[in-house]
Amino acid sequence: MQVKQQWLTGFIFSFFLLISTGCAQHHVVAPVDNDYPYSANYDESKYVAHLPRQMDTGNEKLVLVDPVIHAWGAYDANGQLVRGGIATAGADYCYDEKRPCRTDAGTFRIYYERGEDCVSKIYPIHKGGALMPYCMFFHEGQSLHGSPDNMLVETNISHGCVHIRIPDAEWLHDQFVKIGTKVIIMPY
């Protein structure tokens, strides 16, 4: 009974968290538990394994996001992959806005960043205030930012931002990214 109550509590929390952050369209995300593959115990190596270990970065640091394999990677100026993990990009279509929400593909630069107190001015729609910890904006209001582990799924469900684990976003924000850092979003 207690496990069932914990599951239900986690599901309700997850559902309201999705609604409050503007990420709920037609998807329902399972609650965090130790058996769920996208919980806090997920295996980062599963996502990093699909990224190139080395790439030409033009002698500068860059962040690569691949929405097809749901992965992101940070590459140093020598082109070495130094960290990566799961990433959830923009949805094919946002029913609440009646428009496509894909994250724009291309090469961009970080133009604005904020710490753990970053919040959306738009989502939820007509209210704003959804948490976007460690946001790093790279293109027309699209940003890399942290999201709770239970919202990181192998489906692109956002309104255009790239969601990554909060500890990963914190690391990128505090130790890797600065204004002007290159961001490459792969097409999907």
pLDDT digits (tens, 9 = 90+) for 42-56: 678 899 999 999 999
Q: What is the mean pLDDT of residues 174-187?
A: 98
**Domain covering 2-185: architecture:** Beta Barrel (2.40)
Query: pTM of whole model > 0.85?
Result: no
Element holding 19 (H helix, E strand): helix 2-20
Question: In degrees, to the nearest 5, what angle opens at C-alpha 52 toward C-alphas 176 and 100?
Answer: 75
Q: What is the DSSP letter of 145?
A: E
Residue 85 has pLDDT above 90, yes or no: yes
Q: What is the DSSP letter of 104?
A: P
> Across the beta sheet with 112-113, what order do the strands follow?
106-109, 182-185, 62-66, 71-75, 81-88, 162-165, 142-147, 136-139, 112-113
- C-alpha–C-alpha distance, residues 51 and 79, integer Å: 12
